[in-house]
A and B are shown apart, each in its own frame.
Chain A
Amino acid sequence: MTAQRQTLIQKIGFWFTLGLVIFFFMFPLYWIFVSSIKTRAEVISRVPTYIPFVQFQPTLDNYSAILVGGARESETGVRTSADLSEFRNRLVNSVIIAGASTALAVSLGTLTAYAISRFRIPAESDLMFFILSTRMLPPVVVLIPIFLLFSNLQLRDSYFGIVMLYTTVNLPFVVWMMKGFFDEIPVEYEEAAMIDGYSRLEAIWKIVIPEAIPAMAATAVFSAIVAWNEFVFVNLLNRTNANTVPPYLNSIIGVGAVEWGRLAAGSVVFVIPIVIFTFLVRNYLLRGVTFGAVRR
């Protein structure tokens, strides 16, 4: 009886603590979402309101403004600090750039990982360390020479340049992740296929790659998120063309009266794919955030 009562108290304590934790981590997300469906007056009202329909009348104005409408004069006559119609272009750019660089990084990186996993490569561990080390650099350190390099090669403000850059940024990650996965696929599969008369390339294409598809998909999701979220490089290199969402969000906040409602709507649109992706790769998160170093 006492044991049972204790478990009840423990249960309450457990759910209470968990509630606090969830509140701390979810509150900012909820707050930004709720702000995105408020009117301008409601967003800047001093008393915070949380429950749509009950405390305030929700509106999709902010979403239509950034996704459908052009640059609008706001109700109070204050010009917004950045051209709102720009958001759509940036979103399209983000999709193109994240998509292309992920496809490239995953295909090149997977091949490299296969070669390192299966063949005898001289100084293999040094090679892997070299590949990892390029990712560990503080971005601002490589920023100066990349800026000069891209300026000289006329790669600034181009899709090609930024896609190649993000590909390079993601390659070390893809190689490390995929090498870990290939190491877990038994060599016997390919060997059996090759004894049956497949060439190595055929064995890779027909046996190994199908086996590695889930791992490649998870790796691709992580790479895409990195490219999707990147700010420092694209902000400096692509000022006038092929620019993505993060610098845009940052630029709105820089000048004049901040339209928080619009900004919140933009953030929500930008963040939704990440939330979906996080749920899709939840079983790979541990591997993903540790470069495949931790596998349990």
Chain B
Amino acid sequence: MADSQVAGRSITELKDPLRPRFSWFTDRWIAISFLTPTMALLVFITVFPLVWSLYLSFTDWSVIRDANTAPTWIGTQNYADLLMNRRTWERFVVTGQFVVPSVTIELVLGFGIAMLLNRKFNGRGVIMTMLLIPMMLSPIVVALFWRFMMQGEGVLNYYVVNLFGSDPVLWLTDRWVAPWSLVLVDVWMWTPFMMLISLAGLSAVPKYLYEAAAVDRASGWFRFRHITLPMVAPLLLIAVIFRTMDAYKLFDQALVLTGGGPGRFTQTASLYLYDLAFGQFRTGEASALGYIMLIVIIALANLFIRALNSIKATE
């Protein structure tokens, strides 16, 4: 009796085929309990605040002035004001003038570097990983590095003055130069991203296509135009959309580098929103601007999903 009990116990501990532990925890309950915490957090910290700010965007509430009073409903007044105001449009133009050159240069440069790296050579792994470091850094730190180099007597101006004999460049305070300084910093930080994705695309092009082209004595340009580019294009599209959505949100870098200045020449939509909300405390209006920004990003996100689906379909 005692023996069988001991044996019985040890079998249960090993594995009793008839009575697995936690068997009362059915798949249904597992699914529910695995999904709930994540969903709860997302709803509480993302969806709920969004709904709240949607409501605020229809009011003239200010976090400072009306801290203890209820918001006053003013309908679509905020949206009308913003859309009628030339300043709002200027902020979006500034954003666009940053996004388009940045993403274009990053794409061309990143793809070019990927073509360069797409071969075997000593130290390839280390060099590649090294080149990827910029995109892993905090935008704040990146902006600090560059601000250090771009200041009046910084290292960049030393070479501008001594090699080209020109006056020091006001990298961050000249109205024509400052927007391009932002582009330069973004290019430094995010070209590695384009490079990484381009490399993935390039390495996936089947070798036999090139071999076939070589047999046909196809020119280098022909191979690039008719084999490489079409094969890599879908991935590049993903990369471009990723970067566009990200660049559109530009905030930290611009804040540290120029703070929107000189004047408002580098004030992007995000910086403008921040200033409305926490500089001028026009909470309602800032919320409305947030929703305008959101509509633009949703359009971009839709592009992203469509591109992704079309790529999945061709794979």
Residues of A within 8 A of B (CB): 14, 17-18, 21-22, 24-26, 28-29, 31-32, 35, 44, 46-48, 108-109, 111-112, 114-116, 119, 121, 129-131, 133-134, 136-149, 164-165, 167-168, 171-172, 175, 194, 196-202, 225, 228-232, 236, 246, 249-250, 253, 260, 263-264, 267, 270-271, 274-275, 277-279, 282, 285-286, 289-290, 293-294, 296
Binding site of A, secondary structure by majority: helix, strand, loop or mixed? helix
A176 to B: closest C-beta gap in Å: 12
Interface residues on B, range: 35 or more
A130 to B: closest C-beta gap in Å: 8
- 28 A-B pairs within 8 Å (CB atoms) are namely A17-B116, A25-B130, A25-B191, A28-B142, A29-B134, A35-B148, A48-B155, A109-B38, A115-B30, A121-B31, A137-B50, A141-B294, A145-B52, A146-B45, A146-B49, A148-B52, A148-B283, A168-B45, A197-B16, A231-B140, A249-B144, A250-B255, A260-B148, A267-B145, A282-B129, A285-B196, A286-B200, A294-B197
CB of B251 within 8 A of CB of A274, answer no
> Which 7 residue pairs across A and B have the least CB separation, nearest first?
A145-B49, A229-B138, A197-B17, A115-B34, A199-B20, A141-B290, A111-B34
Q: A48-B158, A133-B301, A199-B20 are in contact. List 8 more A-B contacts (CB 8 A).
A: A25-B134, A25-B188, A131-B38, A145-B50, A231-B138, A253-B256, A277-B136, A294-B235
- In the assembled complex, B137 has its CB within 8 A of some CB on chain A: yes
User: Could you count the A-B residue pairs with CB atoms below 8 Å apart for me: how many are there?
Assistant: 255
B58 to A: closest C-beta gap in Å: 14
Given contacts A138-B270, A146-B45, A249-B141, contact A198 B20 (CB under 8 A): yes
A89 to B: closest C-beta gap in Å: 18
Given contacts A18-B116, A149-B48, A167-B41, contact A253 B147 (CB under 8 A): yes
- In the assembled complex, B125 has its CB within 8 A of some CB on chain A: yes
Q: Of the candidates B63, B130, B137, B203, which one forms a contact with A229 in the assembled complex, judged by CB atoms under 8 Å apart?
A: B137
The stretch that binds A, out of B79-87, B218-226, B273-281, is B273-281
Given contacts A21-B113, A231-B252, A290-B197, contact A201 B25 (CB under 8 A): yes
CB of A112 within 8 A of CB of B56, answer no
B259 to A: closest C-beta gap in Å: 9
- In the assembled complex, B35 has its CB within 8 A of some CB on chain A: yes
CB of B34 within 8 A of CB of A25, answer no
Which residues of chain B are within 8 angstroms of A47 by Cβ–Cβ distance? 158
Residues of B within 8 A of A (CB): 15-18, 20-23, 25, 27, 30-31, 34-35, 37-39, 41-42, 45-50, 52-53, 56, 63, 113, 116-117, 121, 125, 127-142, 144-149, 153, 155, 158, 188, 191-193, 196-197, 200, 203-204, 235, 238, 242, 245, 248-249, 251-252, 255-256, 270, 273-274, 277-278, 283, 286-287, 290-291, 293-294, 297, 301, 305, 308
CB of A138 within 8 A of CB of B293, answer yes
Given contacts A164-B45, A296-B204, contact A200 B116 (CB under 8 A): no
